[in-house]
Amino acid sequence: QLSYRLGRVASHVPEGAIVADIGSDHAYLPCYLVAEGLAERAIAGEVVKGPFESAKKQVRQEGLEDRITVRLASGLAAIEPVDGVTAITIAGMGGPLIASILEQDKARLEGVQRLILQPNVHAKAIREWAAANGWHIVNEEILEENSKIYEIIVLEPAGKAVEFEEKELLFGPVLMAQRSDVFHTKWQREMSQWQKIVASMDANAEAADIGEKKQELAQKIKLVEEVLNGEI
């Protein structure tokens, strides 16, 4: 029942954790974690009524109501101090949305030892948030399922400011060090999209403010080429 993607997210949850899964939809992830004995208890947070009802139904069907609480709430508002949450999972959304959920209610991250985040796109926004808020990247993963490529970023509190180089923010320090086949595929895809945009800009060269944008894209293409060729 659990997708390969969510299975990989689950693999980064520390054993015995008390987990809050934000944007839980059907609550498949918390149900799996608790049913398999990987997490002690869980909160499933959902902001939309339909998915919230699906989550409640799933938890009931699996007989896990005593250990999973489903709450209708936006972002980290689903977490209450008495829950004693130790790990948070946020999966299947864009990086900027995940970062804004974390930014909005930072007080509720008190006591949380690990964030397992799975952006569908723009993972960079999460790394920027981590650097600005003193979380370091303890692990990253890149995977492909049904021709879609996903990244997972695992954060733990650093207790101090964290800095990343520009290329680490974009590619991910761990993913960049590994340079797996999926990593190559992802950046080849991104690069060919940018190349198409540059080509269409060339065709509309007379439009204003195109020069700057084109230069920016050309720089990104060059950076990706250098990384994929192992030059940096």
When asked if residue 141 is in the footprint of ligand SAM (CB under 6 A), the reply is: no
Q: Which residue's structure tokens are 């999926």?
A: 182
Hey, is 39 helix, strand or coil? strand
Alpha helices in the chain (DSSP H): 4-11, 28-35, 49-61, 95-104, 124-133, 166-171, 173-178, 181-203, 210-228
d(CA 98, CA 200): 31
For ligand SAM, the binding residues in 74-93 under the rule CB under 6 A are: 74-75, 91-93
When asked if residue 47 is in the footprint of ligand SAM (CB under 6 A), the reply is: yes
When asked if residue 25 is in the footprint of ligand SAM (CB under 6 A), the reply is: yes
Position 166: which residue type?
A: E
Q: Which is nearer to ligand SAM, 24 or 58 (CB)?
A: 24
When asked if residue 51 is in the footprint of ligand SAM (CB under 6 A), the reply is: yes
Q: Which is nearer to ligand SAM, 133 or 220 (CB)?
A: 133
Smallest separation, CB 59 to ligand SAM (Å):
14
* Under 8 Å between Cβ of 23 and 44: no
DSSP notation for 123-187: THHHHHHHHHHTEEEEEEEEEEETTEEEEEEEEEE-SS-----HHHHHH-HHHHHH--HHHHHHH
When asked if residue 172 is in the footprint of ligand SAM (CB under 6 A), the reply is: no
**From residue 93 to residue 112, what is the string marking binding to ligand SAM with x (rule CB under 6 A)?**
x-------x-----------
When asked if residue 33 is in the footprint of ligand SAM (CB under 6 A), the reply is: no
When asked if residue 170 is in the footprint of ligand SAM (CB under 6 A), the reply is: no
* Number of residues binding to ligand SAM, judged by CB under 6 A: 16
Residues that bind ligand SAM (CB under 6 A): 6, 22-25, 45-48, 51, 74-75, 91-93, 101
